[in-house]
Amino acid sequence: MPVELKTECESVDAEFDRHFGAPNSDLSAHARRHLAECETCRNLYGWLSTPAFPVSLSPELNGRIGQTLKSSLKPVRPVGSTRIVAAHLFLIFVILAAAVSPMMGGAGWQAMTVDQLTGVTAVLIAGAALLSFSLAWQMTPGSLQRVPAITAVAILAAAYLAVEAISFPWHAPEAFLQMGLHCLRYGLTMAVPAALLFGTLVWRGAPLGIETLGGTLGAFAGLLALTILQFNCDVGNAIHLLVWHGAVLVASALAGFLIGGAVSARQRNRRRTPAT
């Protein structure tokens, strides 16, 4: 097919897109002209326009499915809107961070300059809001996910690393391993109960991609642990923050993804059970 003709054909593709889901719309004059000239596109248009053959469903199957569902039919309360669910998650995040941080002394809070505090707080809050929405989208099938979950986690990680690298001084770290391992252990210890709490809330929905949901949930719990850690660790060194505090986020997200994968595989392999 010549290049010029190919470009013309592609312009008709856009026309096909416009037609799907837009009742009673007509083809533009340009598209009609092209279809008149191009047999290939006319064939495709013809195929796409041919009514799909109706599939008949056997009455037995209909009855069987109906019986199965009706045997456990109970009224259910629909979940709240995406915004409400996201707001709940975000609020719990903020309350936990605000309640636990002061209990632990807040040494990091006092060690940071105003610029550092502003930058870090902005990233942590924006990250929490983004992940709250991502979790709310994933809880409900058929939600329009404006930011894919993996992109949301990647944006958060990149923003956190960038702000730490820019705002904090790069010194040769003292007791790098010892202090770092202490922070990592501390962070992961907080991330586990946080993940369980958020997991309980998210499980009330009907998540479909459990691996991705696990990763996002892990990142959200890791972010809460990171927030508490950030305000309680007085090591204001970029290398320490990037490696060890960053590791809390990465390890939590990774663990969540792996656990999600295991849960998903288990669900898949389990024999079908009657509806509950």
Partner 1 sequence: MQALIQMPEPALNTVVGRAGEAEWPALMARYQQGDPDAVEDLIRCLSPYLIRFLAAPGLSKSDTEDLCQECWIRIHRARHTYRSTEPLLPWIFAVARHTRLDAYRRRRRRESREVLVAEPPERAAQKAPAAQEEQGRFDRLLTNLPDSQREVILMLKVSGMSLEEVARATSSTVGAIKQKAHRAYATLRRILDKERD
Q: Is 56 in the site for partner 1 (CB under 8 A)?
A: yes
Coil, strand or helix: which one is 173? coil
Q: Name the token pair of 2.
A: 């010549």
All residues at 6 or more sequence positions from 212 whose CB lies less than 8 Å from its CB, including other chains: 138, 149, 150, 257, 260
Among 2, 3, 7, 26, binds partner 1 (CB under 8 A): 26
Q: What are phi and psi of 203, to 5 degrees?
A: -65, -15
Q: Name the token pair of 157.
A: 């990680």
From residue 68 to residue 107, what is the string marking binding to partner 1 with x (rule CB under 8 A)? xxx-xxxxxxxx-x--------------------------
Residue 118 CA from chain centroid, whole number: 25
Rounded-to-integer distance, Cα 87 and Cα 143, Å? 16
Q: How many of the chain's residues bind partner 1 (CB under 8 A)?
A: 76
Q: Which is nearer to partner 1, 151 or 189 (CB)?
A: 151
Among 140, 161, 242, 261, binds partner 1 (CB under 8 A): 140
Q: Is 30 in the site for partner 1 (CB under 8 A)?
A: no
Contacts with partner 1 in 155-214 (CB under 8 A)? 205-206, 208-209
Among 3, 172, 178, 272, binds partner 1 (CB under 8 A): 272
Contacts with partner 1 in 100-139 (CB under 8 A)? 137-139
Rounded-to-integer distance, Cα 132 and Cα 91, Å? 9
Q: Which is nearer to partner 1, 17 or 174 (CB)?
A: 17
Q: Which is nearer to partner 1, 62 or 110 (CB)?
A: 62
Q: Which is nearer to partner 1, 143 or 189 (CB)?
A: 143
Among 2, 4, 7, 20, binds partner 1 (CB under 8 A): 20
Among 3, 7, 51, 172, binds partner 1 (CB under 8 A): 51
Rounded-to-integer distance, Cα 180 and Cα 166, Å? 20
Nearest distance from C-beta of residue 79 to partner 1, angstroms: 5
Stretch that binds partner 1, among 57-65, 172-180, 185-193, 223-231 (CB under 8 A): 57-65
Contacts with partner 1 in 212-251 (CB under 8 A)? none
Rounded-to-integer distance, Cα 159 and Cα 122, Å? 10
Nearest distance from C-beta of residue 57 to partner 1, angstroms: 5
Note whether 195 and 131 are within 8 A (CB).
Answer: no
Q: Which is nearer to partner 1, 61 or 103 (CB)?
A: 61
Nearest distance from C-beta of residue 31 to partner 1, angstroms: 10
Q: How many other C-beta atoms are found inside a 10 Å radius of the C-beta of residue 245?
A: 25
Rounded-to-integer distance, Cα 212 and Cα 22, Å? 32
Note whether 254 and 218 are within 8 A (CB).
Answer: yes
Residue 9 CA from chain centroid, whole number: 36
Place of tokens 């459990």: 210
Amino acid (one-letter) located at 257: F
Q: Which is nearer to partner 1, 32 or 171 (CB)?
A: 32
Nearest distance from C-beta of residue 87 to partner 1, angstroms: 16
